[in-house]
Chains A and B, each alone.
Chain A
Amino acid sequence: MSKRKSRRPLAAPASAYQRAIRQADEVLSRNGVDVRPDNWQQLALEWFAPHEPDRSELARYITAYQDRLGPRWGKDVLRLEVFFQNDDYKAVIAHYDQAFSPYPRCALIEMWVADRIYRQGGDLWRARQMYRHALDELPNQAKPRYEMGFISYLLGDFPGALEWFSQAAALVADDDIQLRSRIFYNRGLMRYLLEGDKWAAIADIEEALRLRPDYPQALEALRGLRGTPRWVPW
């Protein structure tokens, strides 16, 4: 859970996109990045997927499709990362739509772009379809399952949300503190809501708090569950 949330104001899409591309290229230039035929793969990995499990997944994608990718694709991946780092969700979505359509679908890139598409763009249905693709292509990743659970919750499908959170809980790495704590917290609430299982809910929320002792919603939920049973807002 490393790509940050957007804090940019709304702007006109067409001209704003061209401006964003110029700014991204300036950032790359300032960082001494020169994308060439001999380094585009390495740069894409270093910039977009510096950590596991994303790094292995992007490496697998590059190996599988290296004949169809190349320096231009590499540069577009770097630009996308600059937009993520700048929290410019409109540029992330516009760039993904304009630059990546000629290439084979990359589930890892889609998984991160889908976040922006629904959390800032509000398009739940498009994001859901992208996460579905990520589920098939990234069977060992917890994140798309967590996001499917969260979207199910937003749609009011609580049984679906519990199922996805449980799948995510089985896959999430111990050291992915942000994602793991959110999965367990949300699963705890769903367990309480659907099954009335107060102790299972408390166990999940305690796991979230073990990872993030200052998690405010989890602290409030735990207080609520230990006191008078009531629904604690998400």
Chain B
Amino acid sequence: MVDDSPTLQIKQHWFPTKASGERSFLMRMEFSLNQRPKGTQPNMAEVAWSTGDLARAMSILPSIVPPKVREGMRRLLQPWPAGRYTEAYRRSGGILNLFTPPWGEEQDEIWAAMLARWQTHPFADADEKKAAYLALEQQWNTMPHPFFAGLTPAQVMVGGGPREAQLAEEFLDQLKHKYDGQPFESEGEMLMKTLMLLRGWQCQPQRNGQRPMDIIVAERNELLAIRARALAQRNQP
């Protein structure tokens, strides 16, 4: 008899830093929101987008999921703000950003430069200035950000899908195979070697000729399109 009840899988990975190990849990939570539970049933993110009902989306989770994970997923499912997606600083950014040392508003020189230009620009009145600020926030949300490995904040917010989850697993297996048990003289050296392996891997075409970075971006764009459709349907009278 086929058993499709939740099963516990134990797998060891190797991480160069504590921060990246911790962020991998967040990455997996983001993946699981975009993972279809069975056949054609909508996933948790789709339920949340199309209904706005977080409790209904959370009900898809198996009962064995611990409260701490539930809490994390509930946070991830919160509606996105109308303005700038600052929550993106606290998302994992997926496998392409898993090892980047933590950063936020303080390091974001892209937003700082945009803001500085806005502050020094002469506007006709307060309304025009406010409108320009709102447009600036949308621009930041949708432009590739160099510190998110070229993903846009919106692509970071939507999380990775099943294809990225598979690619991430493949990369983490490769990383463990290459570096687990190897002697390193510093955490910095581990981080450098990991990042160099990652950047080489993401550019290396797979068997189908596609590069992991292109697969990841395409899938996140698909997820953003699904979200946009779901929100549009929900807002229809």
Contacts from A to B (Cβ < 8 Å): 6-10, 89, 118-125, 128, 152-160, 193, 230-231, 233-234
Contact = CB atoms under 8 A, between A and B. Distances in A.
Interface in B165-199: 185-192, 195-199
Given A125-B107, A156-B149, A233 B200 contact: yes
B96 interface: yes
Contacts, number: 82
Given A156-B96, A157-B146, A120 B197 contact: no
Given A89-B188, A153-B199, A154-B192, 10 more contacts: A7-B185, A119-B188, A122-B101, A125-B107, A128-B107, A155-B100, A156-B97, A156-B202, A156-B213, A157-B147
Contacts of A128: 107
Chain B: number of interface residues, binned into ranges: 20 to 34
Contacts of B195: 154
Nearest to B151: A156
Nearest to A157: B146
A231 B203 contact: yes
B204 interface: yes
B150 A156 contact: yes
A123 B19 CA distance: 12
A158 B186 contact: no
Contacts of A159: 146, 150
A6 B184 CA distance: 11
B200 A157 contact: no
B205 interface: yes
Nearest to B202: A156
A122 B17 contact: yes
- Residue of A7, A154, A159 with most chain B CB atoms under a 10 A cut-off: A154
Interface string B94-105: 001100110100
Contact of A154 (B185, B199, B204): B199
B147 A155 contact: yes
